[in-house]
Amino acid sequence: MSNYPHPIIAREGWPFVVLTLATAAGVTYFSALASIPFWIIAVFVLQFFRDPARVIPQNPSAVLSPADGRIVVVAKAHDPYANRDALKISVFMNVFNVHSNRSPVDGKIERVQYFPGRFVNADLDKASLENERNALTIRTGNGETVTCVQVAGLIARRILCYVHADEELKRGQRYGFIRFGSRVDVYLPLSARPKVTVGDKVSATETVLAEF
């Protein structure tokens, strides 16, 4: 799948943008004062679904952040999707972050696994295994395995994934979207060298999470 075209606002957001702007404009016609809350909602929707272009680092050994947000985990953990011990790096996305998800590496998708689940706060560690989630297992050109997991959050109710097994991904390629607060977990080989720490703010594609 190639990068989908989008005019700054993610395609997933256009129905919400049109609805909220039309509602705000309609209420304004009858009462400018009463329309203020509706314009606030419309502005929130616009900022939530923004999807700016990103500059892709040229370092071939870099693992890029798949999402905007804040680092909440950098630790050794079991990768249940590839059944291995791994370095886990988790990015928590609040409702003010860009919610497009992008591939952290170049590689071929070996598996896509979807799991229904709960909707507890994505900032909690248990969200990784209890919440609704969608996992991509990617094999890079140098034979490394990278697992990238979209995890639904407290108010997220829709994980969108546009790629399938056996497709090739490029670093920085948009492959999915999570609506309204969520988390993305990345599992890497234990030999990977982390470049971020807990609490760091990261930007999808532009921030290097680790190097092989």
CA dist 105 and 200 (Å) reads 20
CA of 165: how far to CAs of 112, 113, 140, in Å?
6, 9, 14
CA dist 205 and 197 (Å) reads 17
CA dist 133 and 4 (Å) reads 22
CA dist 212 and 209 (Å) reads 10
Q: Which tokens belong to 119?
A: 């909707």
Catalytic residue list contains 100: no
Pick from 158, 196, 200: which is nearest to 176 by CA? 158
Question: Which one of the listed residues 35, 182, 191, 203 is annotated catalytic?
Answer: 182
Write down the number of H helices and E strands in the chain.
3, 14
Catalytic residues: 182
